[in-house]
C-alpha cells in the first residue's frame, strides 16, 4: 500500500509539472479547491484516486472508510468536478 505522504508528494509534483500552460488542469485545480470547501473527503478521494493512482480499496484504507463510501464519493465528485469545469471553460470562452 502507498503511504498518504507518498501520495501527497506525488500529487504536488504532478500538479506543479502539469501547470505548464495547461488551462484544463488549472481549472481542475480550482474546481478541486472549491470541492474541498464543500466536501473535504470527496476532494481527498479524487486526489488519492486520480493523482495518487490508488485503488478503491487502498483509498478506503487511507481514509478509514468503506470501499462503498469511496465509490460513492468518487462518482459524486467526478460529476461535480465535470459540471464545475464545463462552467469554467464556458466562462473563459465568453470572457
Count of domains for the chain: 1
Of 40 and 20, the structure prediction assigns the larger pLDDT to 40
Tens digits of residue pLDDT in 30-82: 899 999 999 999 999 999 999 899 999 999 999 999 999 999 999 999 999 99
Q: Which domain holds residue 80?
A: 4-94
Give the pLDDT of residue 70: 98
Give the pLDDT of residue 27: 82
Q: What is the DSSP string of the chain?
A: ---HHHHHHHHHHHHHHHTTT-HHHHHHHHHHHHHHHH-HHHHHHHIIIIIT---HHHHHHHHTS-HHHHHHHHHHHHHHHHHHHHHHHHHHHH-
Residues with Cβ within 8 Å of 7's Cβ and at least 6 positions away in sequence, in order, are 47, 48, 51, 52, 53, 54, 62
* pTM (two decimals): 0.71
The domain spanning residue 30 has which CATH number? 1.10.10.10
Average pLDDT over residues 1-20: 58
Question: Does position 14 have pLDDT exceeding 90, yes or no?
Answer: no
Amino acid at each position: 500500500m502507498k503511504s498518504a505522504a507518498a501520495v501527497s508528494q506525488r500529487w504536488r509534483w504532478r500538479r506543479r509539472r502539469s501547470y505548464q500552460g495547461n488551462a484544463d488542469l488549472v481549472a481542475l485545480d480550482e474546481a478541486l479547491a472549491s470541492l474541498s470547501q464543500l466536501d473535504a473527503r470527496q476532494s481527498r478521494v479524487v486526489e488519492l484516486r486520480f493523482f495518487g493512482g490508488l485503488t478503491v480499496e487502498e483509498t478506503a484504507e487511507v481514509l478509514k472508510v468503506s470501499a462503498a463510501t469511496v465509490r460513492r464519493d468518487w462518482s459524486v465528485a467526478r460529476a461535480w468536478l465535470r459540471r464545475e469545469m464545463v462552467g469554467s471553460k464556458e466562462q473563459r470562452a465568453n470572457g
